[in-house]
Structure 1
Amino acid sequence: MLAASGLAMALRPTEKIADQGARMDIARIFPEQFADWRVAPGIVPALVSPDVKEKLDALYDQTLSRTYVNDDGQRIMLSIAYGGDQSGDKTQVHRPEFCYAAQGFQLSNNRESQITTESGVLPVRRLEAVQGSRNEPITYWITIGDEVTLPGLGRKLIQLRYGLTGKVPDGMLVRVSSIDQDVSKAYQLQDHFVRDMLAAINAQDRIRVAGRLIP
Structure 2
Amino acid sequence: MSTDLPKLGRPSRRDLLIGGAMAATAGLSWARAPRHRIASIAPGGLEKVVPLKIGPWHYEPASGIVLPPPDALAKLLYDQQISRSYVADNELPIMLVAAYGSSQGGALQVHRPEICYPASGFRLTDTRLHPLTVRPGDALPARFFTATSDTRTEQVLYWTRIGDVLPTSWTQQRLAIMRNNLVGEIPDGLLLRVSTIHTDEAYATRALERFCRDLLADAGRDGRRKLVGPAYA
TM-score (norm 1): 0.89
One-letter amino acid of the counterpart of residue 221, structure 2? A
Confirm or deny: 8 A CA contact 1:147 1:211 kept in the other structure.
yes
In the other structure, the counterpart of 1:99 is 116
Alignment counterpart, residue 48 of structure 2, candidates 28, 39, 42: 28
CA offsets 1:146-204 (integer angstroms, 9 cap, x no match): 22222233222221221111111111000001101001111111001000000001212
**Structure 1: runs of 5+ lacking an equivalent:** none
TM-score (norm 2): 0.82
Asked if residue 163 in structure 1 is aligned to residue 184 in structure 2, the reply is no
Asked if residue 114 in structure 1 is aligned to residue 131 in structure 2, the reply is yes
1:109 counterpart SS class? coil
With over 3 angstroms needed to count, the CA separation of the structure-2 counterparts of 1:63 and 1:85, relative to structure 1, is: same
Confirm or deny: 8 A CA contact 1:45 1:66 kept in the other structure.
no
Asked if residue 203 in structure 1 is aligned to residue 194 in structure 2, the reply is no
Residues of 2 paired with 1:21 and 1:142: CA distance? 15
Matches for 1:60-209 after TM superposition, within 5 Å: 60-88=78-106, 90-118=107-135, 120-209=138-227
Residues of 2 paired with 1:182 and 1:8: CA distance? 53
One-letter amino acid of the counterpart of residue 96, structure 1? P
Q: Give the CA deviation at 1:113.
A: 1.4
Residues of 1 paired with 2:204 and 2:186: CA distance? 36
One-letter amino acid of the counterpart of residue 33, structure 1? K
Residues of 1 paired with 2:58 and 2:27: CA distance? 53
2:126 counterpart SS class? strand
Confirm or deny: 8 A CA contact 1:45 1:65 kept in the other structure.
no
Confirm or deny: 8 A CA contact 2:67 2:83 kept in the other structure.
no
**Which structure shows the higher strand fraction?**
1
Confirm or deny: 8 A CA contact 1:33 1:39 kept in the other structure.
yes
Alignment counterpart, residue 11 of structure 1, candidates 10, 29, 32: 32
CA offsets 1:54-98 (integer angstroms, 9 cap, x no match): 22112210000001112215201000010011122x110101111
CA RMSD in angstroms comes to 2.2
**Structure 2: runs of 5+ lacking an equivalent:** 1-20
Q: Give the CA deviation at 1:118.
A: 2.5
- Aligned structure 1 segments of 4 or more residues deviating by more than 6 angstroms: none
One-letter amino acid of the counterpart of residue 153, structure 1? T
Residues of 2 paired with 1:41 and 1:67: CA distance? 7
Residues of 2 paired with 1:4 and 1:109: CA distance? 44
Which has more radius of gyration? Answer: 2
One-letter amino acid of the counterpart of residue 157, structure 1? L
In the other structure, the counterpart of 2:76 is 58
Percent identity, aligned pairs only? 35
Residues of 2 paired with 1:212 and 1:21: CA distance? 14
Residues of 1 paired with 2:35 and 2:91: CA distance? 47
